[in-house]
């Protein structure tokens, strides 16, 4: 247990120091123009630069992985080139990049928004999504091979690490909330849990993409859950929406719209909860690190170094919290999804009016 705690603390310190280096490099980019006087450090610009998607994957200032830009226009067809073409100039091959959006360039180099440009580029978030998919495939093929080799034996290595988590999702999430039909939905719930968890953890690495802090990604996960819930719903589920049990007829015009709105609010809450929690964590850590450079601008290097020690403590604490949140948000999203599925497929039960399922107690 002590060794495990030591490893967690060491990981947090490594994450912080690496992140600190990235932010320092970013500060040099925004705070100093080469051969010019120092400019004021812009915290908001630095934060948005790190949490937004981009056509290149920047790990640190000067260390950027170019990604393919894939564009389609009706008059020019499909065009593919490297994002490094936009590294030094915002215009290339008749296209202009503005605020991370690519438009057709006008005569003066300004964006011509009258021409529709379809952008199918492999951005940082898309590349991170593909990376997480590869990681999950490698991990779980390894686990599957472990089960085939160790039949009837104790699990080893990665298999022994993941088996308790898989059993936890099955026994504490799927079974209690879905019931006897849980096996049908268990693969989806496990995929959902590990996909969110892996991407949450990847987002904590220095230079990592903020994938689960992208509302388009969380919306897609929520929509998939929404479709599974409503396509699996039995007649009792739909009857409850349009004729809630025990509700007087006079209240139906109020209750039916409320129930229908509730159907759409469930996936909406899933989408916003994951997006807001992950993004807020990144913003808080980056804001804390930005305080060092704000202090440096206001009071010189002495104040910057003086503030840095306090920032280090709070940033280490926030990194530990973020590690917890990475697991917690994956668990909450999976738990709520299983509850929504369970409510859609459960059998109809008459109200027991306070009497338990075992019937009235014998006296």
What gap in Å lies between CA 206 and CA 71, rounded to an integer? 29
Does any domain span residue 261? Answer: yes
Are 176 and 282 members of one domain? yes
Mean pLDDT value across residues 310-339: 92
pLDDT at 141 over 60: yes
The arithmetic mean of pLDDT across residues 208-225, rounded, is 94
Same domain, 116 and 131: no
Asked if residue 187 belongs to a domain, the reply is yes
Residues 220 and 148 in one domain: yes
Residue at 98 is within a domain: yes
More confident residue, 275 or 87: 275
Angle, CA of 82, 88 and 92, to the nearest 5°: 55
On whether both 331 and 243 belong to a single domain, the answer is yes
Structural domain ending residue among the three candidates 121, 136, 165: 121
- Tell me how crowded residue 205 is: count the other CB atoms within 10 A of its CB: 13
Measured at the alpha carbon of residue 269, what is the angle toward residues 52 and 241, in degrees to the nearest 5? 150
User: What pLDDT does 288 receive?
Assistant: 86
Q: 301 lies in a domain?
A: yes
The residue out of 99, 121, 143 marking a domain boundary is 121
Based on the domain organization, do 74 and 160 belong to the same domain? no
Does 269 share its domain with 321? Answer: yes
Would 80 be classed as within a structural domain?
A: yes
pLDDT at 16 over 50: no
- 309-319 burial by CB neighbour count: b if 16+ within 10 A, else e? eebbeebbebb
The answer to whether residue 146 scores a pLDDT higher than 50 is: yes
Same domain, 80 and 216: no
| Torsions phi, psi for 59 (to 5 deg) | -90, -30
Indicate the pLDDT class of residue 136, thresholds 50, 70 and 90: very high
Least confidently predicted of 19-33, 97-111, 148-162, 166-180? 19-33
**Distances 319 to 11, 20, 72 between C-alpha atoms, Å:** 9, 12, 41
Rounded CA gap, 52 and 214, in Å?
A: 8
CA distance readout (Å), 303 to 66, 288, 346: 37, 15, 62
Counting the structural domains of the chain, the total is: 2
Q: Is residue 93 domain-shared with residue 236, that is, in the same domain?
A: no
CB 146 within 8 A of CB 156: yes
- Mean per-residue pLDDT of the chain: 82
Q: What is the rounded distance in angstroms from the CA atom of residue 200 to the CA atom of residue 213?
A: 9
Question: Which range of residues forms the domain containing residue 89?
Answer: 68-121
- Please name which of 5, 349, 352 lies closest in space to residue 179, comparing C-alpha atoms: 349
Tokens of 184: 């049908």
pLDDT at 40: 67
Exposure string over 169-204, b if 16+ CB within 10 A, otherwise e = beeebbbebbeeebeebbebbbebbbbbbbbbbbbb
What gap in Å lies between CA 345 and CA 233, rounded to an integer?
Answer: 5
User: Same domain, yes or no, for 117 and 140?
Assistant: no
Q: How confident is the model at residue 23 (pLDDT cuts 50, 70, 90)?
A: very low
3-state SS class at 213: coil
- Report residue 135 as tokens: 């990681």
Q: Within this chain, do residues 341 and 219 fall inside the same structural domain, yes or no?
A: yes
Confidence of residue 349 (pLDDT cuts 50, 70, 90): low
pLDDT at 165 over 80: yes
């Amino acid at each position: 247990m002590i060794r495990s705690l030591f490893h967690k603390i060491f990981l947090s310190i490594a994450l912080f120091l690496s992140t600190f280096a990235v932010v320092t490099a970013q500060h040099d980019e925004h705070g100093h123009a080469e051969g010019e006087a120092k400019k004021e450090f812009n915290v908001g610009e630095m934060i948005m630069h790190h949490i937004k998607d981009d056509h290149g994957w920047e790990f640190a200032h000067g260390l950027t992985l170019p990604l393919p830009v894939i564009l389609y226009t009706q008059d020019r067809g499909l065009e593919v080139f490297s994002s490094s073409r936009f590294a030094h100039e915002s215009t290339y091959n008749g296209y202009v990049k503005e605020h991370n959006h690519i438009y057709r360039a006008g005569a003066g180099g300004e964006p011509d928004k009258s021409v529709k440009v379809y952008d199918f580029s492999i951005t940082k978030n898309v590349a991170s999504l593909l990376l997480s998919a590869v990681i999950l495939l490698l991990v779980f093929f390894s686990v599957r091979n472990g089960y085939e080799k160790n039949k009837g034996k104790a699990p080893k290595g990665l298999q022994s690490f993941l088996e308790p988590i898989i059993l936890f999702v099955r026994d504490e999430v799927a079974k209690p909330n879905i019931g006897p039909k849980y096996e049908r939905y268990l693969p989806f719930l496990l995929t959902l849990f590990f996909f969110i968890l892996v991407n949450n953890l990847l987002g904590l690495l220095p230079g990592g993409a903020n994938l689960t802090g992208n509302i388009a990604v969380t919306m897609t996960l929520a929509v998939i859950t929404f479709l599974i819930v409503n396509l699996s719903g039995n007649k009792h589920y739909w009857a409850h929406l349009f004729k809630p049990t025990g509700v007087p007829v006079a209240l139906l015009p109020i209750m039916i719209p409320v129930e229908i709105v509730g159907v759409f609010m469930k996936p909406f809450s899933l989408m916003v909860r994951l997006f807001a929690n992950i993004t807020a964590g990144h913003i808080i850590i980056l804001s804390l690190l930005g305080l060092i450079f704000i202090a440096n601008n206001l009071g010189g290097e002495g104040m910057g170094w003086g503030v840095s020690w306090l920032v280090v403590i709070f940033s280490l604490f926030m990194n530990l919290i973020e590690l917890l949140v990475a697991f917690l948000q994956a668990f909450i999203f999976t738990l709520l999804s299983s509850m929504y599925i369970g409510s859609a497929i459960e059998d109809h039960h008459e109200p027991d009016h306070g009497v338990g399922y075992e019937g009235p107690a014998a006296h």
